[in-house]
């Protein structure tokens, strides 16, 4: 077996074939396939960041095209761009969001920014047409929002609020969604 170059990732295509690509190759592919309205330099940096995330932070050697496209779409969305990845293999999968990260990203404002971010994350996940929408890290998120080291009655209240908020946001969406909501 031939060793993979240290600056490459194997991209699994829908056909099952794996193609090695470097960050530069991905950037070129993303830039040439995108609309001219998006700044190519911004796309280059976003694609390189997602590549780094999978390669270095997660330590992965293989990634599906759908996973990479979803991560790139999420990064571009945080930069204020709305680009949809056109990959049929991502549809109807299990999509996961980490409640602890949402709480941590809310900073010192805690609940003030947490709930709007949670609603935005839910809406973004629903646009992917998942079969299962999973929010994990509820216990850690609750303790962080409540400012508690140990579980308390306040934690029970916050936990119920988060679950009820997710349920109400899901039912308030204008389009009916055929997915299961899992909060753990």
- Which structure tokens are listed for 74? 């999420």
pLDDT of 6 above 80: no
Distance in Å from the first CA to the final CA of the chain: 41
The pLDDT value given to residue 109: 67
Q: What is the pLDDT of residues 68-122, one digit of tens each?
A: 878 888 888 787 776 655 544 444 577 888 999 888 887 766 788 899 999 999 9
The pLDDT of residue 4 is: 53
pLDDT for residue 159: 94
Is pLDDT larger for residue 138 or for residue 8? Answer: 138
Q: Residue 91's pLDDT is what?
A: 42
- pLDDT tens across 12-61, in order? 776 677 777 777 766 555 544 444 456 777 777 888 888 888 888 888 88
Q: Residue 14 has what pLDDT?
A: 67
- Report whether 151 contacts 121 (CB < 8 A): no
pLDDT value at position 143? 93
Position 50 scores a pLDDT of 86
| Widest distance between CA atoms in the chain | 57
Would strands 132-136 and 94-98 be described as parallel, antiparallel, or unpaired?
Answer: parallel
Angle value at C-alpha 173, between 169 and 176, nearest 5 degrees? 120
Higher pLDDT: 15 or 163? It is: 163
Q: Higher model confidence: residue 180 or residue 149?
A: 149
């Amino acid at each position: 077996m031939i060793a993979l170059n240290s600056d490459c990732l194997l991209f699994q295509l829908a056909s099952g074939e794996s193609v090695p690509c470097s960050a530069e190759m991905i950037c070129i592919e993303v830039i040439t396939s995108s609309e001219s309205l998006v700044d190519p330099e911004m796309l280059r940096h976003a694609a390189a960041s997602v590549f780094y995330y999978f390669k270095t932070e997660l330590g992965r050697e293989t990634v599906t095209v759908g996973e990479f496209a979803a991560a790139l779409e999420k990064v571009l969305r945080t930069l204020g761009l709305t680009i949809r990845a056109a990959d049929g293999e991502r549809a109807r999968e299990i999509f996961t969001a980490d409640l602890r990260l949402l709480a941590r990203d809310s900073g010192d404002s805690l609940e003030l920014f947490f709930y709007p971010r949670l609603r935005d994350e839910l809406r973004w996940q629903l646009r992917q047409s998942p079969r299962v929408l999973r929010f994990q890290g509820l216990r850690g998120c609750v303790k962080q929002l409540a400012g508690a080291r140990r579980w308390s009655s306040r934690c029970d209240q916050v936990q119920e609020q988060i679950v009820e908020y997710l349920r109400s946001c899901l039912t308030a969406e204008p389009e009916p969604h055929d997915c299961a909501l899992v909060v753990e």
